[in-house]
A and B are shown apart, each in its own frame.
Chain A
Amino acid sequence: MTDTIALPNSLRSQPDANGHFGAFGGRYVAETLMPLILELEKVYRAAKADPAFDEEFAELLRTYVGRPNPLYYAGRLTEALRAKAAPGKGAKIYLKREELNHTGAHKINNCIGQALLARRMGKKKVIAETGAGQHGVATATVAALFGMECKIFMGAKDVERQKPNVFRMKLLGAEVVPVHSGSATLKDSMNDALRHWVSNVHDTFYIIGTAAGPHPYPELVRDFQSVIGKETRAQMLEAEGRLPDMLIAPVGGGSNAIGLFHPFLDDPEVAMIGVEAAGEGLDRKHAASLAGGVSGILHGNRTYLLQDEDGQITEAHSISAGLDYPGIGPEHSWLHEIGRVKYMPIKDDEALTSFQTLSKLEGIIPALESAHAVAAAEQIAPTLDADRIIVVNLSGRGDKDIFTVADALGVEM
């Protein structure tokens, strides 16, 4: 009951042999990287077929990460929304507590999986890109755990706005490399990580932080993050005796969202909402690549991108450094085009409000990324009948964002 089998015609059987999700995905990298990416795919196939790999992954998730984390019924939030809804309206809201994972976000699930792959490939050095620092901290953590040398590429602007995480990475023994090129945010840190990788491909493993990049990354990141959806499924069946009616998750690259959604893709009764960062609004600066972008090629995959008519990548904006990226994972682009998942834009100010609402009502300070999903739930829940059930993925905790939020609220710290 905790999982379903992917059938040949299943929505869960993507990508194809060449790494394509419909028209998206693929492997658009320099020739230097191709042999390594092909080897990674081979190693991943072997690991997937090896019960020992799965056992070690599951054991580390249990004893090191702290899984399974709870599925929590947010009663105070639910009641507050019902109070404002029409009679008989106001869906029940559950929170999947990824913020309770070691290091404070879902990112650690994927990092453990990729570090195990790096070890299988004999690589002693790992690199990663990071925006908000959650993935950087998770990578630095697994590098310490596995005794690997670690370099984290981070946009100079993000180094400035995420100081606590920068310090954490250094404490964990990682070198943080500030990236000054371009917009000095997440996309530029990915460019520089790729530059470093192409120059050190013989001994370095690139731990990509989201379900994007060249095949097989979108697939393996999704698989490692699918623990979120598998647990949610079992926990919901136990709590309510049935599947939820709707799943809501924030989407930057979209690894936490695809991890929650994937085990439910073949259950048509479960609706899914991915929440994109609409920044200052879709007609102004934003990071909503599905609502405001078109199909293109960047960072190794074909996907929806913010770009101009000449294919130049335009700057993304979000109050959340983790969502400040002009692209999205290719599986999301495909799920958007076939209509299986709906994507909804939420603005900076809406996320800020929900950041405070959840803190006050539930005693949980969410990451700004997660606050986008909470904001969407606050808008949707009152329109649904009271017997409906929504699960919101609380992808990370908000400690890292208190400076950004204080700044936005005009509070001096």
Chain B
Amino acid sequence: MTADRLSTHFAACRAQGRAALITFVTAGDPDVAATPAILDALVEGGADIIELGMPFTDPMADGPAIELANLRSLGSGTKTKDIFALAADFRARHPDTPLILMGYANPMLVRGSDWFADQCKAAGVDGVICVDTPPEEDAEIGPALRAAGVHLVRLATPTTDAARLPAVLNGASGFLYHVAVAGITGKQQAAQTSIEMAVARLKAATDLPIAVGFGVRTPDQAAAIGRVADGVVVGSAIVDIVGSHGDAAAPFVRQFVASLSGALTRTQETAA
């Protein structure tokens, strides 16, 4: 890997005594033309790492907010080539900000894993989260990504017990994404104590940075998680703002993300 933006960023955040802010939006929501300004707003608001969702017709692990974003995007005609163009454009304008593609196996693998991995590499994508490809099916996507120097970020969940964790960690790289609730995106909030116990358990098992997501909607929640985890992921709450404001969403997104990053910074001050 030439320049590992992910490890550089997690290290920088750790040096500042704070968790990384990881923000999610769906590519092409509400349309491809609107996405660059929304991505810029995430960075300007203080996001450390960007997750860009690849829309899919059947996002069965997602709740209503992200499902609607997927349908808005596809309804406006977003194609896979547009997503890689958005990624390459983002990389040109933000050479240092890590970019992760998140989505489902079928759109990623329809032209083969080598093609997908090559496109990721060429567009400057740092990592991939494939929601419906567990370690048992790693052969579908893992080898191609690793050969291209792109991280395959694995998910751990409240149902991932000690017996299963080694399987999840085998081949995981970049960071480990702890899905805080056994459920779909955007719905319930997990109890802080269960998050703290999970993060402690995961940290004991791996040196990878631990990011926590699913159900994180407010600066206070982000701050609470930021005290224990290496990264905090916020998705549905941002996607809802895009849903409400459409192609005028960028300033509202920037403001909300700034409130999240501000909360994480204050965590550092109180912790210091």
Contacts and interface: CB of A to CB of B under 8 A. Distances in A.
Contact of B159 (A28, A32, A297, A311): A32
Contacts of B137: 26-28
Given A29-B132, A187-B58, A312-B57, 4 more contacts: A26-B137, A30-B155, A201-B182, A312-B106
A194 B179 contact: no
Contacts of A34: 134, 136, 159-160, 164
Nearest to A194: B60
B261 to A, nearest CB: 28
Interface stretch (A92-100, A110-118, A299-307, A395-403): A299-307
B211 to A, nearest CB: 14
Indicate the member of A36, A194, A309, A312 with the most B CB atoms within 10 Å.
A312
A33 B59 CA distance: 15
A4 interface: no
B136 A35 contact: no
Contact of B132 (A30, A305, A312): A30
A18 B168 contact: no
15 contacts: A28-B132, A30-B132, A32-B183, A35-B161, A36-B159, A181-B71, A191-B58, A191-B59, A192-B60, A199-B188, A296-B109, A297-B140, A298-B58, A310-B110, A313-B106
Contact of B106 (A36, A195, A202, A307): A307
Nearest to A190: B60
A66 interface: no
Contact of A297 (B80, B105, B164): B105
Given A32-B183, A312-B56, A298 B159 contact: no
Contacts of B60: 190-192, 194-195, 299
A47 to B, nearest CB: 21
B200 to A, nearest CB: 19
A10 to B, nearest CB: 25
A12 B137 CA distance: 23
A96 to B, nearest CB: 34
B171 interface: no
Given A31-B179, A312-B57, A298 B106 contact: yes
A198 interface: yes
Given A195-B184, A296-B106, A31 B58 contact: no
B79 interface: yes
A182 interface: yes
B74 interface: yes
Interface in A276-323: 296-300, 305, 307, 309-313
A311 B183 contact: no
A268 to B, nearest CB: 32
B157 interface: yes
Interface in A19-47: 26-36, 38
Contact of A18 (B136, B155, B157): B136
Given A35-B159, A202-B182, A311 B110 contact: yes
A311 B107 contact: yes
B106 A35 contact: no
Interface in B93-112: 104-110
Given A195-B60, A310-B107, A32 B179 contact: yes
B74 A312 contact: yes
Interface residues on B, range: 35 or more
Contacts of B104: 297
B193 to A, nearest CB: 18
A198 B179 CA distance: 12
A32 B158 CA distance: 7
A31 B134 contact: yes
Nearest to A26: B137
Interface in A238-284: none
Contact of A309 (B110, B156, B157, B158): B110
A407 B110 CA distance: 39
Nearest to B68: A181
A142 B107 CA distance: 37
Interface string B133-151: 1101100100000000000
Contacts of A191: 58-60
B57 A313 contact: yes
B131 interface: yes
Interface in B72-89: 74, 79-80
B33 interface: no
Contacts of A29: 132, 134
3 A-B pairs with the lowest CB-CB distances in the bound complex, closest first: A311-B110, A199-B183, A311-B107
A198 B110 contact: no
Interface in A309-341: 309-313
Contacts of A297: 104-106, 109, 132-133, 140
Interface in B177-204: 179, 182-184, 187-188
B63 to A, nearest CB: 8
Contacts of B107: 310-312
A198 B185 CA distance: 11
A28 B155 CA distance: 13
Contacts of B157: 30-32
Contacts of B108: 311
A181 B109 contact: no
B61 interface: yes
B56 to A, nearest CB: 7
A28 B179 CA distance: 17
B67 interface: yes
Contact of A27 (B59, B136, B182): B136
A299 B59 CA distance: 10
Contacts of A312: 56-57, 74, 106-107
B106 A311 contact: yes
